Amino acid sequence: ANPIKLLLLTAMKIAYTLTTTALIAVSATTHAATTVSVVELGSGGVTRVTSNTNQAASTTVSGVTSFWGAMHDIPRAVPAGKRNLSTTDRIKAGITSSNKSMMQDSGMTMVPDMFQRADGGLALALIGDVDDLLKDMPTLAELTQKQRVGSFSVKGQKAMDLITASFADEGVTMGGDAGPVLKAKIDNATEENKLQGAIVEVDDAKKVDAQLKALVSDVQSRKGTFVLHIVTEDGVRRRLNEDEDENDRDEEDDKDEDKEEDDKDEDEDKDKEDEDEDEDGEDDGSQSDNYRTIFQIQYFNTVLWTALGLTTVLVYCIGLMINMPLMADTLLFGESAKMIG
């Protein structure tokens, strides 16, 4: 095969692969969504829904965190230089004490009840595709689909961002070690309605579901109302797999086409050699020898007219320089006269 043709085909394959990868990343970011399901455990009645729709209301990371701050107490360290702020400015800046709440963003479909306060809360982010989790986690399916008061939807993969926005130092806990961690956070959250955060990597769905069921039983055995904010990501892995499968099919098709082209070129070369042998020294200017592919014709014309254009510009510039009018340099002659004088 022609080396130039192979080089161009290789460059086109690399560009196609990079473009496909970028499109897959953009598609995953566009289609992915994060759902925050609000579940009341215990007495209930601490969350009010302002919309009758059963669909998750679209919001942002700051909107969800403002709801959490209005529902629970999230103590934050007071930065230097802001210790003398007024109460309103401290609330706007997110600097709260144990008995003050943040201001919630307007226009949200769920708000805390004005007269009843929760006794604690846990923002639990389960890292894994929700379509896969719901199949192997019946407790999670029961909580997020039947027992939830309402839910929020945030575009993109924002589970980690939601937790770290309120709990900057929170790390990822593997599913097998989640039980003791969640138990400790529940105990801390029930003190003065604090909100605790946890990020759990679901490596064993059945084991994590059993720990989640134990957590629910523990909370329901206590007095008061505990609010569980379950954060899940959906529509990510499935779409990525579909895009990757489609990309693999395209690559296989390209390989088949390249193989067919190589076989075709080999057959043409073989036929050409056979014809040359059959002709027994006939003139090389035969029709088969003069045959050119469309790629060769395009490449020849591109090189030809580019070379002609550059040559024309070069000749024109040389002509302008040759025909440049000669003018006396008054400054040079003036300095010469001073030196002579």
Please give the Cα distance from 148 to 38 (Å, whole number): 5
Please give the Cα distance from 98 to 54 (Å, whole number): 33
pLDDT tens-digit profile of 61-79? 989 999 998 888 886 655 5
Give the pLDDT band of residue 341 (cuts 50, 70, 90): low
With a cut of 50, say whether residue 5 has pLDDT above it: yes
- pLDDT (0 to 100) of residue 238: 42
- pLDDT (0 to 100) of residue 231: 92
Please give the Cα distance from 35 to 38 (Å, whole number): 10
- pLDDT (0 to 100) of residue 84: 52
Helix (H) or strand (E) holding 94: none
The strands making up 57-59's β-sheet, listed across from edge to edge, are 57-59, 148-155, 33-42, 225-234, 120-129, 195-201, 172-174
pLDDT tens-digit profile of 224-283? 899 999 999 875 444 444 445 555 666 666 666 666 666 666 666 666 666 655 554 444
- pLDDT (0 to 100) of residue 51: 77
Q: Which residue has the higher pLDDT, 200 or 129?
A: 200
Mean pLDDT value of segment 101-124: 85
On the CB side of 223, CA atoms within 13 Å amount to: 1
- pLDDT (0 to 100) of residue 330: 66
Q: Over pLDDT 70: what percentage of the chain?
A: 61
**How far is CA 159 from its chain centroid?**
13
- pLDDT (0 to 100) of residue 242: 47
pLDDT tens-digit profile of 302-329? 999 999 999 999 999 998 888 887 776 6
- pLDDT (0 to 100) of residue 276: 58
Give the pLDDT band of residue 87 (cuts 50, 70, 90): low
Give the pLDDT band of residue 97 (cuts 50, 70, 90): very low
pLDDT tens-digit profile of 142-178? 998 888 888 999 988 888 888 888 876 667 777 677 8
Q: Which residue has the higher pLDDT, 212 or 264?
A: 212
Q: What is the DSSP letter of 55?
A: S
With a cut of 80, say whether residue 53 has pLDDT above it: no
- pLDDT (0 to 100) of residue 336: 62
Please give the Cα distance from 233 to 157 (Å, whole number): 6
DSSP notation for 282-330: --S-STTTT---HHHHHHHHHHHHHHHHHHHHHHHHHHHHHTPPP---H
Q: Are 136 and 239 in contact (CB under 8 A)?
A: no
With a cut of 50, say whether residue 42 has pLDDT above it: yes
Range of weakest confidence among 17-31, 44-58, 216-230: 17-31
Please give the Cα distance from 208 to 174 (Å, whole number): 9
- pLDDT (0 to 100) of residue 39: 93
Residue 231: name the closest of 40, 35, 24, 92 by CA.
Answer: 35
Mean pLDDT value of segment 35-56: 85
- pLDDT (0 to 100) of residue 256: 66
Number of other CB atoms surrounding residue 113 within 10 Å: 14
Residue 167: name the closest of 196, 201, 193, 190 by CA.
Answer: 196
What is the overall mean pLDDT for the chain? 75
Please give the Cα distance from 126 to 142 (Å, whole number): 15
List Cα–Cα distances, 144 to 69, 108, 114, 153, in angstroms.
21, 19, 25, 13
Please give the Cα distance from 123 to 182 (Å, whole number): 10
Mean pLDDT value of segment 9-36: 67
Mean pLDDT value of segment 132-149: 87
Please give the Cα distance from 243 to 50 (Å, whole number): 38
Q: Which two tokens stand for residue 232?
A: 């899940």
Give the pLDDT band of residue 284 (cuts 50, 70, 90): very low
Strand pairing class (47-49; 110-112): antiparallel
Please give the Cα distance from 49 to 110 (Å, whole number): 5
- pLDDT (0 to 100) of residue 273: 63
Q: Which residue has the tokens 């254009």?
A: 309
